[in-house]
Amino acid sequence: MIKKTKVYAHRGFSSQFPENTMRAFEEARQRNVSGIELDVQLTKDGEVVVIHDEEINRTTNGIGYVQDFFLKQIILFDAGTWFHKAFHQEAIPTLRDVFEWIVSTKSQLTLNIELKNDVIAYEALEEKVLELIEEYELVNQVIISSFNYKSLVKVRSIHPHISLGFLFEGIDNKAVEKALTIQASGLHCEPQYAFSAEGKRAQASGLELRVYTVNDKHLFLQLINEGVEVIMTDDLEMSSRI
């Protein structure tokens, strides 16, 4: 029997709206996705903000590193015009903004919070994200993932049961053992892993496969056939037609 595969909006509905903005998240919510994946980094004053790159150059009208701006500075940049001028009012959201929105809309969707600490080792990013999750009582609605395995080990040492996803590229023969060691609920993997013997071993071990980032319809259908738990996509129009 083929189980029902869930769709997560990767960086929000990012094929049609500027990635990692409140607009992209709200547009995803209105399309009834099961979850949203977003990326977090830290400002100079230690605030958790939602942006994919370590630098603001690609997705805003500013130049520089996230870690070199105070929150009051970084929220002033335009995070929408790079995508289309219609989105000029979009800003870099804080993780708190996203949690306020989840609570105010009474949304049940899962938030996959990817800690972007594989390039810059942000001081206490794990603690700050966990504190916000506790404050908004969203422990049962989030999955924490990272390419930085040590960071996930740290999250587990702080929190005994929050859902974790070990994130990696390609085929990692140690991924199953690493995930089981930290009682992760799943592996965040590329499609090739899901089709591999290692991917089958992961599923047999009880780990969910959450596959990124799939924008091709045929690949999407193949992954559903493999029984993966989650597919992350930028293209919610494509996935809604399946």
As given in the structure block, the two tokens for residue 161 are 């049961």
Select 50 or 102, whichever has its Cβ closest to ligand G3P: 50
Q: How far is CA 228 from CA 51, 92, 188, 209, in A?
A: 27, 31, 11, 5
Q: Give me the residue whose beta carbon is nearest to ligand G3P.
A: 212
Strand partners, 115: 40, 146
Q: Exposed, middle or buried by CB within 10 Å (0-12, 13-18, 19+), for 227?
A: middle
Q: State the nearest-atom distance from the C-beta of 38 to ligand G3P, in Å.
A: 9
Span 15-44, contacts to ligand G3P by CB under 6 A = 37, 39
Q: Give min distance, CB of 1 to ligand G3P, in A.
A: 27
Smallest distance, ligand G3P to C-beta of residue 104, A = 25
Binding characters for ligand G3P, 53-92, by CB under 6 A (x = yes): ----------------------------------------
Token readout for 233 is 């996509």
Of 20 and 60, CB closest to Mg ion: 20
CB 78: neighbour CB atoms within 10 A?
18
Closer to ligand G3P by CB, 47 or 114: give it: 114
145 binds ligand G3P (CB under 6 A): yes
Q: Which of 239, 195, 200 is nearest to 216 (CA)?
A: 239
Question: Which of Mg ion, ligand G3P, none does 145 bind, CB closer than 5 to 8 A by kind?
Answer: ligand G3P
CB of 49 to ligand G3P, least distance (A): 15
Buried b / exposed e across 40-73, counting CB within 10 Å, b at 16+?
bbbbeeebbbbbbbbbbeebbebeeebbebebee
Residue 212 makes contact with ligand G3P by CB under 6 A: yes
Q: Which is nearer to ligand G3P, 36 or 138 (CB)?
A: 36
Concerning whether 84 is annotated as a catalytic residue, the answer is: no
Query: Which H or E run contains 186?
Result: strand 186-189
30 HSE (CA, 13 A, CB side): 8
Q: Is 211 helix (H, G, I), strand (E, B) or coil?
A: strand
Assess 188 for contact with ligand G3P (CB under 6 A): yes
Q: How far is the CB of 212 from ligand G3P (least distance, A)?
A: 4
Q: Which of 52, 159, 188, 218 is catalytic?
A: 52
Phi, psi of 84 (to 5 degrees): -170, 145
Concerning whether 52 is annotated as a catalytic residue, the answer is yes
Complex with ligand G3P: residue 145 or 163, whichever CB lies closer: 145
Residues that bind ligand G3P (CB under 6 A): 10, 37, 39, 52, 114, 145, 167, 188, 212-213, 232
Report, as residue numbers or ranges, the catalytic residues: 10, 52
